[in-house]
Structure 1
Amino acid sequence: MKLSRARLALVIGLAGMLLLVAVIVSPLLLMSMPSFLSDGGATVDCEDTAHVEEASDSAASDIPAEYLELYKEYGKKIGVQWNILAAVGKRETDHGRSDLPGVKSGTNSAGAAGPMQFLISTWGGKARLPFPGSINGYASDGDGDGVADVYNPADAILGAAKMLKRNGAPENVRSALFVYNRAWWYVDQVEEIARKYAKSGAVEVPPQASPECDDTLVEAAPSDVVAKILQFALAQRGKPYLWGGTGPDAFDCSGVIYAAYKAAGLTIPRTTFTQWPFGVKVLEGEEQPGDLVFFNAGPGTSAGSPGHVGLVVSKGKMLEARCTLCGPIKVTSYQARDNRVGFTRPLQNADVLGQVQKLNSSL
């Protein structure tokens, strides 16, 4: 079909107008893009794993100096957001300033005690315990006086940091707070306080825990095989923990690693107890992506027979399926764990080296 000169001119004119509108409107669309698409215009720095949220003027004026220092010290040491710790302390006892029962002595009607309001049973069975000792709980000795005292701010704040870490912080901080006090209104209140305490007005999550950094982690892998292992493992993030699980819908700690290696065409032992002696031992500091990091955790375990394992995805970071109450599979810090046993490299096992050679020869 032929167009008349008049119609052709009209079409060209309309096309020009549309192009002009696109040029003008596109930047506006980018500026107004919803935060779930653009992250508010922020750029995720996947290398920035040491970022510490600065305190706001509100935090500096509201939190006693001693408490603020402890929140920051133990937040950094354990690997949780200090402003979340501080918000818990504010919500529970106004940083120890409350005169309600159980804050400075005894317990409240629910059996909670101290500035961070631990249930005595959760703390370890008694308000004051010798440390170190046989402690089954979060009892801690923050000031190094040999006693885990639930009323001592240093001890209580360190214990609270460990509890939050154990239950999903910093990545799944809402789940961790829900375990701390099982009410979502409580979680909302603590997060709101935490935002006010942060200079940025946010609750920061470690960059490498974000899916936005997955490509960076995979690209930095030391080999194509490790890249395939990481790619599969990171894709399982968000799935639930299931004891004995090997996927595809749920995994346990060793199951997700077994499946990740299998996805790369390699077979390694299935359980933590058999994975530990399988790989070649690696000195701390020399670990690399694809290696395994082991912990003395779980029933029937010891330093020589660790019961928990994670997959190293970058220096200081691992992917792990931890426990049913710990939240879904996620990327966490292994450097903050004081029960770390050691690292191994399954790819240096003679049998796996043979498998890799066969894979390479078939390409």
Structure 2
Amino acid sequence: MGSRLGAGVAALVLAIPLLLAAGIAGVVSALTGSSATGSLTCTPDGTPTGAVPGFTAEQLGNAAVIVGVGKQMRVPEQGWVVAIAAAIQESGLRNLDYGDRDSLGLFQQRPSMGWGTPEQITTPTYAATQFYEHLLTIPNWQAMSINAAAQAVQRSGFPHAYGPHETDARRIVAAVAGIRCEPVPALDGTGDCNNIQAPTSAALTAINYACGQRGLPYIWGGNGPDSGDRGFDCSGLTKAAYNAAGITLPRTAHAQFHTGTRIPDGSPLLPGDLVFYGTPASITHVALYLGNGKMINAPIFGSPVQINNYRHPNDTYVGATRPST
């Protein structure tokens, strides 16, 4: 089952800004988790500076994700600067798996304070979305200083720490906002949430979202924390994942199977495809294909969102579809 996703996690835009020239391979790695061979190709769009002294490709790649999410959410450019300044102060623009108490990720958000699960917070698109969602609730934030706006979101014990990063934040935004990157088709992908490859931006976004939900419980009819549920059922997860990519799916697994673009039997699957089980007359399960024979899914009562093999002896696999806009 599934129903509408509330204020879901925004995801990577179809054109995600990255860094030029020598830094591209490193930025691609930071963005997608892939190896330096990458799964994106980047082209100039406008006149970006392409580099910022003192910042590495890894840092600028994370900045590109933050700016890309801001664009997707239609946050004004001032908000991108606020977010980058906050991330410079909190993590040095690095996706940290440690911090003060239970703080994690680019913005050092805390699970205990309601920012999300550790898996979500250390997913850069989720972390950036949460930052922007909080920023947009602040009255007249655009009239505030960069420091005041960042502090209103972060509520730091060091309330004046963000302003000194404004100049660097503006330089970084100028450097990454004018690069467009498109995914290069991957034959099969990795099957690994820590090394995501996908053939389209929509598939990359959907996988990235689903990977951020690992560990949440299976709940019949569950649509996820963004809609007030503690977890997901199978089609709630796939619907939410593609909703994050701007693609609306029906609520139930059965409806998703019968409305999607069917992949011919025997054709290779690509990361992001939906795989279905049961019979054509009664679809009982749906999952998101990751590549390398793996899928991510909300399996059944007592089993959280997790990665499994998509085929096994005696399974009831009936086919796959490829969501598109």
TM-score (normalizing by structure 1): 0.34
Q: Pick the structure with more helix per residue.
A: 1
Bigger CA radius of gyration: 1
